Amino acid sequence: MEAYLDNAATTRCYEEVADIVRKTMLEDYGNPSAMHRRGVEAEQYLKDSAAAIARILKVKEKEIFFTSGGTESNNWAIFGTAAANRRRGKRIITSAVEHAAVARPMAVLEEMGFEIIRLKTTKEGVVDPEELKAALTKDTVLVSVMMVNNEIGSIEPVAEIGSYIREHYPETMFHVDAIQAFGKLRIYPKRMKIDLLSVSGHKIHGPKGVGFLYIDERAKLSPIIYGGGQQNGMRSGTDNVPGIAGLGVAAARMCASMEENAEHMYQLKERLAEGLLGLGDVTIHGPSDLRKGAPHVLNASIIGIRAEVLLHTLEDRNIYVSSGSACSSHHRNGSATMLAIGASLPERESSVRFSFSELTKEEEIDYALENLREVVPMLRRYTRH
């Protein structure tokens, strides 16, 4: 048996996504910038995907811009806003628990002379809106706060933040990294006063190497990729028709049954959490009320066992988990999120992330727990002196 519990890292494509990707690679393979029929047919896939995503977010199709994935979307939102607004100010506010695709661009801007304010969080990984309000000034050009933390599943109060910014500092752009939120939570950028929203395809059973950035029509943003002028001159480069077509199909299917899928994942999360706590000397990170966090992420420290040791032990039994974010697992400095929430060194060293999807079965949870009950006492005997 196999238990794939690393869906926050990537998900398996839906069958219909794989089908449309294949079709657009072998049959409708035209370049959407071409003027002939093949090009027009290819362009229709782009329009269909933009329309599907716009319906889900309740925004305009022209506000959806396709990218190579979440990292590019985040980089574009940050560097594009900084470039377009630097004459107005060089102050940017973010949080201490952002993904590397936001944290690293912020560090680069800091080296370029921008003032970066990093908000602290509670022990549950949640930003205090009052601290953010106090940090805002007229020369703040951007606020960037993720919606769902990729490591511990905390949900940030983005609607409250967005409403305050729009009311008191309407020229300040508000960017939300929704890469772990889209498809799991209902997101309405207009209602939540979000100007820029980043999404990645492979987190929602779509293809890798594709995503989108929602850009509110009022937003002032510069391109960061120049060339042939595709996507209204905002993001040049030949459009990734197979990826974009697959992304549209994945988004439509996932969001059609979002609430039912979320309930399924919450039940898996609760079942796993109960079993983990039964192992003894285990800390669950994130919201103490599991249902106040994202449905698909559960982070636990199994004290006394290094995360990498447990990960590879489980891998030998076809159980796949993660030691934090897949994108930061090779960083020597450790998890910024775990440091920000005040996790102890033993907790940080033993932190493992389990993550689910609508395709995850209860049997996978039970299989993982069965093996954990067997290997944890054994590993603790070897590692404790």
Shared domain for 272 and 350, answered yes or no, is yes
Q: pLDDT tens digits for 90-101? A: 999 999 999 999
CATH code of residue 191: 3.40.640.10
Shared domain for 187 and 294, answered yes or no, is no
Q: How confident is the model at residue 335 (pLDDT cuts 50, 70, 90)?
A: confident
Q: Which amino acid is at 7?
A: N
Q: How confident is the model at residue 305 (pLDDT cuts 50, 70, 90)?
A: very high
φ and ψ at residue 68, rounded to 5 degrees: -85, 0
Shared domain for 244 and 277, answered yes or no, is no
- pLDDT for res 31: 96
- Regarding pTM above 0.85, the answer is yes
Q: Is the pLDDT of residue 385 over 70?
A: no
- pLDDT for res 324: 65
Shared domain for 197 and 289, answered yes or no, is no
Shared domain for 248 and 276, answered yes or no, is no
Domain of residue 334: give its range: 3-11+258-383
Q: pLDDT tens digits for 276-300? A: 999 999 999 999 999 999 999 999 9
The pair of three-digit structure tokens given for residue 109, joined into one six-digit string: 């801007």
Number of domains in the chain: 2
Shared domain for 235 and 262, answered yes or no, is no
Residue 63 or 86, more confident: 63
Shared domain for 99 and 146, answered yes or no, is yes
Contacts of 220 (CB under 8 A, 6+ apart): 81, 84, 85, 173
- pLDDT for res 334: 67
Tell me how far the alpha carbon of residue 59 is from its chain's centroid. 20
In which residue are the tokens 């999120």 written?
337
CATH code of residue 372: 3.90.1150.10
Shared domain for 200 and 220, answered yes or no, is yes
Q: Is the pLDDT of residue 332 over 80?
A: no
Shared domain for 180 and 46, answered yes or no, is yes
* Residue 13 a catalytic site member: no
Provide the angle, in degrees to the nearest 10, between the axes of the packed helices 362-383 and 258-277.
30
The pair of three-digit structure tokens given for residue 141, joined into one six-digit string: 């050009």
Cα(326)–Cα(75) distance, integer angstroms: 18
Which of the residues 266, 327, 334, 380 is marked catalytic? 327
Q: pLDDT tens digits for 181-192? A: 999 999 999 999
Cα(364)–Cα(12) distance, integer angstroms: 15
Q: Is the dihedral of CA 187, 191, 194, 195 positive or negative?
A: positive
Shared domain for 249 and 269, answered yes or no, is no
Q: Of the residues 256, 275, 290, which one is the last residue of a structural domain?
A: 256
Q: How confident is the model at residue 383 (pLDDT cuts 50, 70, 90)?
A: low
Helix, strand, coil percent content, the chain, rounded in steps of 5: 45, 15, 40
Q: How many CB atoms lie within 10 A of CB 262?
A: 19
Q: pLDDT tens digits for 6-31? A: 999 999 999 999 999 999 999 999 99
Q: pLDDT tens digits for 224-275? A: 999 999 999 999 999 999 999 999 999 999 999 999 999 999 999 999 999 9
- pLDDT for res 330: 45
Q: How confident is the model at residue 384 (pLDDT cuts 50, 70, 90)?
A: low
